[in-house]
Every structure is written in C-alpha cells, then in structure tokens.
A = this chain, B = another copy of it.
Amino acid sequence: MSIQLLFGQNVRLAREKKGWSQDRLSDESGLHRTYISGIERGVRNPTIEIVQQVAVALDVDIQELFADLKVKASFYD
C-alpha cells in the first residue's frame, strides 16, 4: 500500500469518526473539497504543510495520520 493511500484512509477514518462530510473538513482546513477527496482516495501526494493543516482541522496528531491501518474487526466476525 502506498503512503498516499495509507494517509488518505487515515484521514477518512478520522473525518468519519467526527461525523464530518468532506465539505466540512474542507471548510475547517481551508483546503478545496475536491482536493480532500483526492487525498482520501490516495491519488494526491500532499506536502507536510498540508498534512499539518489536515491534522489541525481534525484535531489529531500528525502521527495518527500515518498509523498502520488495522484490519477491520468485522473481517473476523
């Protein structure tokens, strides 16, 4: 898995955990909505400045956005 996809999925998880739409995260981070979409899909390769902007908006540590993805528990249920 690419680092872009790992990052993107972690952003999506953190966003959904807050119950936010991409539009909402866009507003909070100051980044364009379509760009957020691209990040979450792993098709963008953001700079660390953008990473920080997203982390601040989501109120999470940058490190959390690079955390290894856990296999969903439901996979084993």
| Residues of chain A having any CB pair with chain B under 8 Å | 3-4, 7, 45-49, 51-52, 61-63, 66-67
- The one of B45, B51, B67 in contact with A3, judged by C-beta atoms closer than 8 angstroms, is B51
Contact check: which of B46, B47, B49, B67 meets A63 at CB < 8 Å? B67
What are 12 A-B residue pairs whose CB atoms fall within 8 Å in the complex?
A3-B49, A3-B52, A3-B62, A4-B48, A4-B49, A45-B48, A47-B47, A47-B48, A48-B48, A48-B51, A61-B66, A63-B67
The answer to whether A62 and B66 have CB atoms under 8 Å apart is yes
A48 to B63, CA, bound (A): 12
Q: In the complex, what residues of B have CB within 8 A of residue A7's CB?
A: 48
